[in-house]
Structure 1
Amino acid sequence: MADRNPGMDLDLEWVSGVRVNTQAVLKRAQQVQGRKVAKKEWQAAWLLKAATCIDLTTLSGDDTPSNVHRLCMKAMQPIRYDLLQSMGMHDKDITTAAVCVYPSRVADAVKSLKAANSCIPVASVATGFPAGQTPLKTRLEEVRMAVEDGATEIDIVINRTLALTGQWAGLYEEIRQFREACGDAHMKTILAVGELGTFTNVYKASLVSMMAGSDFIKTSTGKESVNATYPVAIVMVRAIRDYYRKTDHKVGFKPAGGIRTAQEALVWLVLMKVELGDQWLTPHLFRLGASSLLGDIERQIYHYVTGRYPAYHELPMA
């Protein structure tokens, strides 16, 4: 992970002065989507890069120690060894960026990874995920418990009510408390952009989250009806850029929810490159929250190596 973002005092003047030009954002998002993506070996290289930025996630009601274990094994060997070998990449230690689970499954993930001598971080969602509607005391306790069980990254959800009603000081205060409860664990703040109403609100919530010390800002829980979209991403990464210019602290970005194809992953990488530059193209500052995306990336790499698409049984389950 990159250096921590220490945050800053809440600057309400900066927040209240925010205006987002919707048409300009939509136009820029279209331009990014329309850019040509790399082909052949360049594309394969970009896809490997995307795999190393994935927070491989399982957030289901039926999660068990065994499917968490399987997820951890997949995170350690995201692309079949023989495929990496034929690309000369088998010794490059290619793993996903993290494994992301519910707080009650953190201990399972930590145990699986430790047993395999892996240093892949375990991320835990917390703070009443996905709605963030439980009492503050409970939400803080959830963060502490996940950290105690060995999570080194915590994905918190903001209280959307505070953002929707413009209670920015209240939101700042809550996030500060979460940051404190995280201790040494890095904190990713989920804005649930599909529930924030306007681009201006998304920008303001991004700013307040960073001022309060978030190390990453993340689009969605994956449980809303609208998740990661390119226009919303433009707004969030512009907020990251402005915050960096003002404070000299880099904050990471994580789109999550509904990202399923290798092609989409490439567009996200392009968006980061053109908006924030190459220094953001690392797992320290860019993550893709996904559960099924890795399967398609591996499928495309299989095609690149062999010239054909694999049958269903030829790739291990993600």
Structure 2
Amino acid sequence: MTSHAKPSGTAIPSSAAHARNPGMTLDLDRVAGASANSAAIARRAAQIPARRSLKGAHQAAWLARAVTLIDLTTLSGDDTPGRVRRLCAKARQPVRADLLAALDLPAITTGAVCVYHEMIAPAVEALAGTGIPVAAVSTGFPAGLSPFDLRLKEIEASVAAGAAEIDIVISRRHVLTGNWQALYDETRAMRAACGPAHMKAILATGELGTLRNVARASWVAMMAGADFIKTSTGKEGVNATLPVSLVMVRAIRAYRDLTGFKVGYKPAGGISKAKDALSYMALMKDELGDDWLRPDLFRFGASSLLGDIERQLEHHVTGAYSASWRHAMG
């Protein structure tokens, strides 16, 4: 993205309808053929923030769009229903009304609220009538090492509790040992257990060893029917990065070209600054187009990111930066 262009359409998009990815038969030849030129990927990734040039109202429009793409997340061992309800209140009104009025923008919400299974009920109650989906992390998150039958039951329980989206974790050992059939079979069974709920397949890319493994795991997850592929749980030592994202979104593009089906993308973990969000959005626009700048095909897994975006929007309106504590998440 080299110009000051706004995302096409209005600053606050509605979801674009597209057919859900049904998956396909595992094609081991195509998986084996997936590759990644690390040097070229690193060069291209380095260009993305360097080429981004957004100022003034154009930057504010992109940041407002970014708010609608956030899966506002709390995945802490000390989560309580009260904390989740406060987070849901922030999801319902993520940016102060006076800032939206000054920017001449309508009311917006975040893309979803993401919680552990135990917090689904208070989240669903707090978001009733808003249209904001509840996403639940399931399948033995974050390691994905619990017995497989229990992982499937956890998915089913989360869907029954009201989760409209399920963030599953793949078995990393299948990637590391090249057991693509096992990875496909497990992910396919998880997709079936999700039923009507959309499935985001977390690859935990920081634990996959190579970019080639990231590319191959992306293909297998999409062949198994993933609605989204997601970088990380946020608990790994290395989470979302631009090089990994480039590999994954190019796999999404190739899968679309092969099958005609669009798969979403979710970078997660370590994205806390507004400038970083703009870089990821630039990547999506350049590599996949405007359709992937909408919440049905692109999400950020984040919490503190929203606070920094709101702070930047306030600076655009007032010319001054406020303290970060003025933009608490809950």
TM range, smaller chain:
over 0.9
Q: Does 1:130 align with 2:150?
A: no
2:117 corresponding residue in structure 1 = 103
Question: 2-side partners of 1:313 and 1:185: how far apart?
Answer: 35
1:58 corresponding residue in structure 2 = 74
Question: 2-side partners of 1:12 and 1:81: how far apart?
Answer: 52
Question: 2-side partners of 1:313 and 1:50: how far apart?
Answer: 20
SS at match of 2:75: coil
* AA at the equivalent of 1:4: R
SS at match of 1:59: coil
Contact 1:37 1:267 in 2 (8 A): no
Contact 1:147 1:182 in 2 (8 A): yes
Deviation at 1:232, TM superposition (A): 0.4
Q: Does 1:37 align with 2:53?
A: yes
1:27 corresponding residue in structure 2 = 43
2:184 corresponding residue in structure 1 = 172
SS at match of 2:239: coil
Question: Taking structure 1 as reference, are residues 274 and 64 closer, same or farther at Cα in structure 2, changes over 3 Å only?
Answer: same
* AA at the equivalent of 1:293: L
SS at match of 1:250: coil
Question: 2-side partners of 1:151 and 1:45: how far apart?
Answer: 30
1:240 corresponding residue in structure 2 = 252
Question: 1-side partners of 2:155 and 2:329: how far apart?
Answer: 30
SS at match of 1:273: helix
Contact 2:136 2:163 in 1 (8 A): yes
2:97 corresponding residue in structure 1 = 81
Question: 2-side partners of 1:181 and 1:97: how far apart?
Answer: 23
Question: 2-side partners of 1:304 and 1:316: how far apart?
Answer: 19
Contact 1:37 1:266 in 2 (8 A): no
SS at match of 1:100: strand
SS at match of 2:249: helix
SS at match of 1:303: helix
Residue 107 (structure 2) aligned to one of 85, 93, 99: 93
For the aligned residue pairs, the C-alpha RMSD in angstroms reads 1.1
Deviation at 1:312, TM superposition (A): 4.6
Deviation at 1:313, TM superposition (A): 5.2
Length, aligned pairs only: 314
Contact 1:113 1:119 in 2 (8 A): yes
Question: 1-side partners of 2:110 and 2:213: how far apart?
Answer: 32
1:14 corresponding residue in structure 2 = 30
* AA at the equivalent of 1:134: S
- Give the structure-1-normalised TM-score: 0.97
Question: 1-side partners of 2:185 and 2:276: how far apart?
Answer: 35
Residue 224 (structure 2) aligned to one of 212, 220, 229: 212
1:192 corresponding residue in structure 2 = 204
| Runs of 4+ residues deviating >2 angstroms | 311-318
Unaligned regions of 5+ residues in structure 2, if any?
Answer: 1-14
2:272 corresponding residue in structure 1 = 260
Question: 1-side partners of 2:248 and 2:324: how far apart?
Answer: 37
